[in-house]
Amino acid sequence: MVRCLVLPFDLSCCCSIVDGNKYKGSIYMVFEYMDHDLTGLADKPGMRFTIPQIKCYMKQLLTGLHYCHINQVLHRDIKGSNLLIDNEGNLKLADFGLARSFSSDHNANLTNRVITLWYRPPELLLGSTKYGPAVDMWSVGCIFAELLNGKPILPGKNEPDQLTKIFELCGTPDELIWPGVTKMPWYNNLKPPRQLKRHVKDAFKHFDFHALDLLERMLTLDPSKRISANEALDSEYFWTDPLPCDPKSLPKYEASHEYQTKKRRQQQRQADDAAAKRQKTHHSQPPHARLPPIQQSGHQIRPAQPTNNPHPPMASGSNHHYGKPRGPGGPNRYPPGGNQGGGGYPNRGGQGGGYGSGPYPPQQGRGPPPYPGGGPRGGGSSGGYGGAPNFPQAGPYGPGGPGRGPNYPPQAGSRNQQQQYGNWQ
């Protein structure tokens, strides 16, 4: 049976000039059925993502967002419930109701009342109307930390509270770390009464080193220095063990969406209220809380040992840190000349700064890009967002190119030439 999503669309605005709305009607937009959204899937009771699974979802998200940005489209509402996932492991960006095309014209004014509050970047909360793709990358950073941490990291109650939570985590911005911030419309009204220091590394010190480095660059206060989707796809996080898994290898789950999560929470609250009114002696079950991701071999969170087990329980290692085998003897982890699934890459380029960085010197490319403009781990790039997605796909803009390729099939290559957008205010 074919399942699909049907969305009604009012056609009256299109027919207002035809015989006085004589042909007024509706259009039904039919899309393929997606079994889950990321919020609904993450909130399933007992759900625990693995690190390769998180890398797989994040890589697909960045690939889709990179394609939007090189085609000059801002999504402006990246959040878990707008990321749809099917039971084949495919992730798709949805809900482009707030999307807007942009150009290199820095004088264009855009509304700052966009992006769901918990995922809204500081420049919009401070009143900026001139911004670019960096606003989407802040939202991606919030989702990334949420997947690794097991819960939202910046759950503000209102705009001032949201900005306070951002400053408590990322520090108070000033002209030194964010030039021009003191001239933003609402800075003087919303700045904290005292100077706060940045402590992202302290708050998430249980994250893997490469994950923490990528998160730091996504949650950079100055949007001109914030990492782009193109650069994020080329970060070490996606090219170190454990590698992103093949989407088709992910388990299949029962359908789950955000509205089901809200309904389950509402039912739990009603049950708690009823139990309190009846003054029962037993306590109702506490609301479901997300679990942190499952660690890899050698550092996996293990279940409690049975009492009759003669072997003592094994101690778990530090979270999100994967050491490589040491000592003599035994085969190497990777075949000569490269890493597992990625191939050798002797000529690695340096990591870029962000949207405001200058061009990079030419370096060894990873192969021809699948669509014009170059891209992550592809050939030469004409701009920070000119590049091929790091995840090979077939679609309207061409099949996946060789490049460095996805992490799960073995391919070879090296990092591409990196260039940037220009300064986004």
pLDDT single digits (tens) 325-353: 444 544 544 445 444 444 444 444 444 44
Report pLDDT for 23.
Answer: 66
Question: What whole-number percentage of the chain has pLDDT above 90?
Answer: 44
The pTM score is 0.62
User: Per-residue pLDDT for 270 more than 80?
Assistant: no
Could you tell me if 64 and 17 are in contact, meaning their C-beta atoms sit under 8 angstroms apart? no
CA distances from 14 to 8, 100, 300, 348 (A): 14, 20, 57, 53
Residue range 161-189: average pLDDT?
A: 94
User: Per-residue pLDDT for 307 more than 50?
Assistant: no
117: tokens are 């509050």
93 pLDDT band (50/70/90 cuts)? very high
Mean pLDDT, the chain, rounded, equals 74
Report pLDDT for 216.
Answer: 97
User: Per-residue pLDDT for 12 more than 50?
Assistant: no
Residue range 27-42: average pLDDT?
A: 88
Query: Partners of 343 in the beta sheet?
Result: 339
Instruction: Give the separation between CA 360 and CA 357, rounded to whole angstroms.
Output: 9
Could you tell me if 79 and 94 are in contact, meaning their C-beta atoms sit under 8 angstroms apart? no
User: Per-residue pLDDT for 39 more than 80?
Assistant: yes
User: Per-residue pLDDT for 111 more than 80?
Assistant: yes
In this structure, of 205-214, 288-297, 316-325, the range with the lowest mean pLDDT score is 316-325
Higher local confidence (pLDDT), 196 or 298: 196
Higher local confidence (pLDDT), 377 or 115: 115
CA distances from 60 to 200, 308, 343 (A): 25, 45, 21
153: tokens are 């990291």
Higher local confidence (pLDDT), 359 or 277: 277
Higher local confidence (pLDDT), 359 or 264: 264
In this structure, of 137-151, 178-192, 346-360, the range with the lowest mean pLDDT score is 346-360
Report pLDDT for 272.
Answer: 75
Backbone angles phi, psi at 10, to 5 degrees: -75, 125
Report pLDDT for 104.
Answer: 67
Could you tell me if 69 and 228 are in contact, meaning their C-beta atoms sit under 8 angstroms apart? yes
Neighbours of 133 (CB within 10 A): 26
Domains and CATH numbers, the chain: 1-33 (no CATH), 36-249 (1.10.510.10)
User: Per-residue pLDDT for 71 more than 50?
Assistant: yes
User: Per-residue pLDDT for 283 more than 80?
Assistant: no
251 pLDDT band (50/70/90 cuts)? confident
27 pLDDT band (50/70/90 cuts)? confident
Preceding amide of 242 cis, omega within 30: yes
Report pLDDT for 141.
Answer: 98
Q: How much of the chain is helix, strand and coil, in % rounded to 5?
A: 30, 5, 65
Half-sphere exposure of 290 (CA within 13 A, CB side): 20
Report pLDDT for 196.
Answer: 93
Query: Partners of 118 in the beta sheet?
Result: none
Residue range 21-47: average pLDDT?
A: 83
Report pLDDT for 287.
Answer: 53
Instruction: Give the separation between CA 130 and CA 100, rounded to whole angstroms.
Output: 13
User: Measured in whole angstroms, how far is the alpha carbon of residue 26 from the centre of its chain?
Assistant: 35
Nearest CA to 70 among 365, 352, 354, 388? 388
**Exposure b/e, 217-243, CB count within 10 A at least 16 = b:** bbbbbbbbbbbbbbbbbbbebbbbbbb
Could you tell me if 333 and 340 are in contact, meaning their C-beta atoms sit under 8 angstroms apart? yes
Is residue 43 part of the annotated active site? The answer reads: no
In this structure, of 49-53, 91-95, 223-227, 286-290, the range with the lowest mean pLDDT score is 286-290
Catalytic residue among 77, 136, 208, 234: 77
User: Per-residue pLDDT for 319 more than 90?
Assistant: no
136 pLDDT band (50/70/90 cuts)? very high
Report pLDDT for 180.
Answer: 94
Residue range 412-419: average pLDDT?
A: 44
Report pLDDT for 198.
Answer: 96
